[in-house]
Amino acid sequence: MLLGCAYSAAGKKQQAASELSQALIAGGSYDHPLTCIALLELGKIAFEKAEFDAAGTFFLEASYSAAVFDRFDIFEESLRWASQTWLVAGKKGVFSQLAPATAWAKKKGTRSAMVTLLTCAAEHQSIFGDPQGALALVNQARTAMGRAEMQNGEVGARLNFETARVSFQTGNLKAGDVAAASALAWYKLGSRRLFQIGLADGLAVGGQITERTADLLYSTVLREPVPADWIIEPNETLASIAFPHPLPYEHWLDVCLARKEEDKALTITDMIRRHRFYSSLPLGGRLLALRWVLEAAPEAAQRKGRPAAAGLAGEVPQVCRGFQKGGGAAGRVGGRFAK
């Protein structure tokens, strides 16, 4: 299993899958204490290959195996991955396994898993058009969390993020603003994406890696978010664009100039300007982007902006109506809902 994880970290996914598959069985027995970890890693490999049906199956199997051995950490992580896989795969309706998994977590007294699963269920409810149901689940999660220390960690930050979304959807703007501020305050210091950017930058500036490797690392950690990022980890993605970190971009530019890659250096220069501008705006410029999509004249909008506006009109008509009415209370609600 460790060899499979090492292959996976090195990008050798085929070898990783082979080793992890062999790690599922020990002494002729399918389930042993490490089976759930191997299944979880196999799910992540399938997810990276966009094999979402296979990934979802692996994640569910990992949760079953973790439950057998009371591996509550793996149980929680595998079901959170299964929940996100359901969304990325474009499935409709709330992921049905969340309710029985939450009941099991409650029975076992594993508070962290219970809060995480309730948060995932609230996310599904809010996405699939039931904000009141999502609000009830958020309140359940808040009750289950109580005054536990987890409220100051990532579990609490994810719950605050979901609380903000649901509050905006239900029109409670004040509560939404408070929850959003609390979530972002944690991600400013605890974001994994920002940590990875800082780590890569430190290795490059310290001369611990070659210029070629530095270029590869920078291009990975400083890449522009794609739609899947906003589905899988909207909170992490938002942190990566909302909080300014210009120095890694500038160091990346220095690397490209040293390698005489003028065309890439020009692209990075444009990325630096955009990052400085958008990170100076609320929520990394997301509201500005929404306004551009919904309010720009048809002849001025980019070609890909028109279908985006049409999609928003079908999925969240209240947002579009708020902007079309031109500001005011409706526009403010629409803007916060979009956040």
pLDDT of residue 63: 97
pLDDT of residue 335: 44
pLDDT of residue 148: 74
Q: Do residues 264 and 324 share a domain?
A: no
Q: Do residues 166 and 85 share a domain?
A: no
Q: Do residues 165 and 209 share a domain?
A: no
3-class DSSP assignment, residue 131: helix
Give the global pTM.
0.82
Q: Do residues 121 and 198 share a domain?
A: no
Q: Which residues contact 140 (CB under 8 A, 6 or more apart)?
A: 118
3-class DSSP assignment, residue 175: helix
Q: Cα(203)–Cα(210) distance, rounded to whole angstroms?
A: 9
pLDDT of residue 59: 98
Helix locations, the chain, DSSP H: 2-9, 13-22, 35-48, 52-68, 72-88, 98-108, 111-127, 131-145, 154-169, 173-190, 192-205, 211-221, 227-232, 234-242, 246-258, 262-278, 286-295, 305-315, 317-324, 328-338
Averages of pLDDT over each 10 residues, the chain, 339 residues: 94 95 86 94 95 96 96 96 93 93 95 96 92 95 88 93 93 92 93 95 95 95 88 88 94 95 94 94 86 72 56 54 45 42
Pick the last residue of a domain from 231, 251, 280.
280
Q: Cα(35)–Cα(313) distance, rounded to whole angstroms?
A: 45
283: left (phi over 0), alpha (psi -120 to 50) or beta: left
pLDDT of residue 248: 96
pLDDT of residue 332: 44
Pick the last residue of a domain from 147, 167, 189.
189
Q: Do residues 116 and 182 share a domain?
A: yes
What total number of domains does the chain contain? 4
Q: Do residues 109 and 70 share a domain?
A: no
- Residue 13 is part of which domain span? 1-91
Q: Do residues 113 and 159 share a domain?
A: yes
Q: Do residues 166 and 252 share a domain?
A: no
Pick the last residue of a domain from 280, 309, 327.
280
